[in-house]
Chains A and B, each alone.
Chain A
Amino acid sequence: MHLDAVALLLAASVNSGTALALAALGLLVNERSGVLNLGAEGLMLVAAVAGFATAVHTHSEVLALCAGAAAAATLSLVFALLVVGLHTNQYATGLALSLFGSGFSAFVGVPYTQETLADRAPHVVPGLSKLPVLGPLLFSFHPVVYLTVLLALGLSWFLFRSKRGLVLRAVGESPESAHALGYPVRRIRVLAVVAGGALCGLAGAYISVVYTPLWVEDLVAGKGWIALALTTFATWRPARVLLGAYLFGGVTMLELHLQGEGVDLPVQLLTMLPYVATIVVLVLIARNPDWIRANMPASLGKPFYPS
Chain B
Amino acid sequence: MLRLEPRAEPSRVMALASPLLALALTVVAGALLFALLGKDPFRGLEMFLVEPLRGGRALGELSIKATPLVLVALGLCVCFRSNVWNIGAEGQFILGSVFASGVALRATPSSGAGLFVLVLLAGMLGGMAWGGLVAWLRDRFNANEILVSLMLVYVAEQILSYLVYGPWKDPHGYNFPQTATFLAPARVPLLLEGSRANFGLPLALLLTGAFWLFLYRTHAGYKLEVGGLAPLAARYAGFSSRSALWTAFLVSGGMAGLAGALEVAGPVAQLTTHVPLGYGFAAIIVAFVGRLNPLGVVFAAVLMSMFYIGGEMSQSRLGLPKSLTGVFQGLLLFALLACDTLITSRFRYASRRPAIPGG
Partners in one complex: yes
Contact A225 B151 (CB under 8 A): yes
Residues from chain B with a CB closer than 8 A to the CB of A86 are: 4, 337-338, 341, 345
**Which residues on B sit within 8 Å (CB–CB) of A88?**
337-338, 340-341
Contact between chains at B141 and A222 (CB < 8 Å):
no
Contact of A272 with B338 in the complex, beta carbons under 8 Å = no
A279 at interface, CB cutoff 8 A: yes
Q: How far is the CB of A235 from chain B (nearest CB, A)?
A: 14
Q: A266–B334 Cα gap in the complex (Å)?
A: 40
Assess the A269–B338 pair: CB atoms within 8 A. Answer: no
Question: Inter-chain contact count A-B, CB under 8 Å?
Answer: 129
B195 within 8 A of A: no
What is the CB-to-nearest-CB distance from A187 to chain B, in angstroms, rounded to a whole number?
15
A92, B285: Cα distance in complex, Å: 9
- Chain B contact-residue range equals 35 or more
A266 to B165, CA, bound (A): 10
Q: Interface size on A (CB < 8 Å)?
A: 46
Within 8 A of A (CB), among B143-186: 143-144, 146-148, 150-152, 154-155, 158-159, 161-162, 165-166
Q: Judge whether B143 and A279 touch: CB under 8 Å.
A: yes
Determine if A102 is an interface residue (Cβ-Cβ < 8 Å): yes
A295 CB, min distance to chain B CBs, angstroms: 15
A residues within 8 A CB of B165?
A: 268
- Is A106 a contact partner of B137 (Cβ separation < 8 A)? no
The yes or no answer to B209 lying at the interface (CB within 8 A) is: no
Check if B85 is an interface residue, CB within 8 A of chain A.
Answer: yes
A99: interface (CB < 8 Å): yes
The answer to whether B338 and A286 have CB atoms under 8 Å apart is no
For residue A183, CB closer than 8 A to chain B, the reply is no
**B351: which A residues are within 8 A, CB to CB?**
none
In the bound complex, CA of A60 to CA of B142 (Å) = 46
Inter-chain contacts of A85 with B (CB < 8 A):
4
Query: Which residue in B4, B143, B327, B331 is a CB contact (below 8 Å) of A282?
Result: B143
Asked whether any CB of chain B lies closer than 8 Å to the CB of A165, the reply is no
Of listed A85, A275, A278, residue having the most chain B CB within 10 A: A275
| Shortest beta-carbon distance from A158 to chain B in Å | 27
Which chain A residues (259-278) contact chain B, with CB distance < 8 Å? 266, 268-269, 271-272, 275-276, 278
Which residue of the partner chain B has the closest CB to A81? B338
Q: Is the CB of B151 within 8 A of A107?
A: no
A95-B284, A271-B158 known; A217 vs B323 contact (CB < 8 Å):
yes
B49 at the interface (CB under 8 A from A): no
The residues of B that contact A272 with a CB separation of less than 8 Å are 154-155, 158
Any B CB within 8 A of the CB of A96: yes
B-to-A contact residues, CB < 8 Å: 4, 6, 85, 87, 137, 141-144, 146-148, 150-152, 154-155, 158-159, 161-162, 165-166, 281, 284-285, 288, 321, 323-331, 333-334, 337-338, 340-341, 344-345
**Could you pull out 6 A-B pairs where Cβ atoms are within 8 angstroms?**
A92-B288, A100-B329, A222-B150, A276-B151, A286-B142, A287-B141
